[in-house]
Amino acid sequence: MNTATALTHEPPCTTALRGEVAVALPMRHAGVQGVNLRYELQGPAGAPVVLVAGGISAHRHVSASAEFPEKGWANALVANGRTLDPARVRVLAFDYVAADGRLDVPVDTADQADAVALLLDALGIERLQAFVGYSYGAMVGLQFAARHPSRLRHLVAVSGAHRPHPYACAWRALQRRAVALGQLQCADAAGLALARQFAMLSYRTPEEFGERFDAAPEIVNGRVRCAAEDYLDAAGAQYVARTPVTAFLRLSESIDLHRIDPAAVQVPVTVVAVEGDRLVPLSDSVNLVEGLAGRGQLRVLRSPYGHDAFLKETDRIDLILAAVLRGNGAAA
């Protein structure tokens, strides 16, 4: 059943639309599952299509538009005057499989990549000008490039590699244990908040914390409270309000399940690494580019925002996207 009615029923002047496509998805660890692929497509008909995929908490609403004015998760990158200018490029994004919390099975990055191919079929898009993936999205992009090479011209893989690093896996495994500890007594929200707070430490850097949270701790009700705890409280609460526990667990696991042989990727890939990223060490990005042989090129940023640089260093990321995408005609 294709429920992508938005595509055909919106008035022609509309530049952003949303829809949902029901597909039967053969999954690597869970057989064939019926899933709804929720997407958003912004930009003029006929323009080249760039798919943008973010971390596990990203979603289909990448940037604000007249139709959907709320702020998107990559609002500063998909905007007028940027390389990903929705006046000149069609930007496609989707909610990850399992992001709605209804699918409680192991999810592989290969499953997400196959879901993208089914979505492109449903939308009548033969080929992406580029797949811009960040974090989990970079992993999905590598799978997509390996499994559906005829469906994209270029992959930009930011802060994600051919494997999760074993240290980062351990960090995520403990986050999932925090959720499990909360679930033991139906304190699901408390467990998920703690997991998110630990995740925040992996996304950011000591440099940033040193600048922001240098105040001495206080003793409150006989307990020590550190300067960063207000920030961490807010980060946990904000995440819990929008994230089903099952979605977090299955997508967190999905990062750890990810493995791909770089030699299986036969399209051009720009790998963007961030020096100081505490989840994706530079050495893994270098190994990825080596495995890609002549098909890969490496760009390295240094940022106090670590793993989150894609969302924070938007001017520098845009320069990289310009070099890559304008070079191959995406936004010429």
Contact set with its own copies (CB under 8 A): 29, 105-106, 165-174, 177-178, 181-182, 184-185, 187, 190-191, 194, 197-198, 201, 205-206, 209-210, 212-214, 216-217, 219, 222-229, 232, 253, 256-257, 259, 278, 281
Q: 24 vs 173, which CB is nearer to its own copies?
A: 173
Cα dist from 58 to 67, 78, 196, 229, 266, whole Å? 19, 14, 14, 24, 27
Cα dist from 203 to 130, 131, 168, 276, whole Å? 25, 22, 11, 10
Out of 57, 63, 65, 135, the active site residue is 135
Bridge partners of 52?
Answer: 132
The least CB distance from residue 117 to its own copies, in Å, is 24
The least CB distance from residue 190 to its own copies, in Å, is 6
d(CA 299, CA 69): 33
Whether 135 sits among the annotated catalytic residues: the reply is yes
Alpha helices in 96-185 (DSSP H): 109-123, 136-147, 166-183
Q: 68 vs 198, which CB is nearer to its own copies?
A: 198
Q: 206 vs 327, which CB is nearer to its own copies?
A: 206
Q: Per DSSP, which regions of 168-254 are E strands? A: 218-220, 223-225
DSSP-derived pairing of the beta strands 90-94 and 130-134 = unpaired
Q: 217 vs 327, which CB is nearer to its own copies?
A: 217
The least CB distance from residue 216 to its own copies, in Å, is 6
Q: 212 vs 326, which CB is nearer to its own copies?
A: 212
Residues 6+ apart with CB under 8 A from 327: none
The least CB distance from residue 120 to its own copies, in Å, is 28
Out of 108, 114, 277, 308, the active site residue is 277
Q: Which residue has the tokens 């399940």?
A: 257
Q: 117 vs 201, which CB is nearer to its own copies?
A: 201
The least CB distance from residue 186 to its own copies, in Å, is 9
DSSP-derived pairing of the beta strands 155-158 and 130-134 = parallel
Q: 119 vs 279, which CB is nearer to its own copies?
A: 279
Whether 307 sits among the annotated catalytic residues: the reply is yes
- Written as six digits, the tokens of 281 are 């060490």
The least CB distance from residue 314 to its own copies, in Å, is 24
- Written as six digits, the tokens of 160 are 């994600």
d(CA 202, CA 277): 8
DSSP-derived pairing of the beta strands 296-302 and 2-3 = unpaired
Beta carbons of 89 and 50 less than 8 angstroms apart: yes
d(CA 293, CA 40): 34
Bridge partners of 22?
Answer: 36
Out of 285, 307, 308, 318, the active site residue is 307
The least CB distance from residue 266 to its own copies, in Å, is 23
The residue among 326, 190, 206, 205 whose CA lies nearest residue 270 is 326
Helix (H, G, I), strand (E, B) or coil at 52: strand
- The residues that are catalytic are 135, 277, 307
